[in-house]
Amino acid sequence: SAALMLRHAFGWETEAVALESAVDRALAEGLRTRDLGGSADTAQATKAVLAQI
């Protein structure tokens, strides 16, 4: 995942936590991609996560 890359490749723990938190908030607001039983596509998921940062 992107958070793993930030954490392990770059040592950016704060940024990794921020990204993970943004994803958690987007999911809490109902974001679901098709693989999770929803209808959001990649662009919609990206927008939802970015809105939380």
pLDDT of 36 reads 97
Alpha carbon 23 to its chain centroid, in Å, reads: 3
Domain boundaries, the chain: 2-52
Read off the pLDDT band of 48 (50, 70, 90).
Answer: very high
pTM: 0.90
pLDDT mean over 38-48: 98
What is the per-residue pLDDT across 3-42, written as a single tens digit (0 to 9) for each?
999 999 999 999 999 999 999 999 999 999 999 999 999 9
Residue identified by tokens 């958070």 is 3
**Is residue 20 exposed (0-12), middle (13-18) or buried (19+ Cβ within 10 Å)?**
middle
Residue identified by tokens 């991609």 is 33
Show the CA angle centred on residue 51, arms to residues 38 and 6, nearest 5°.
90
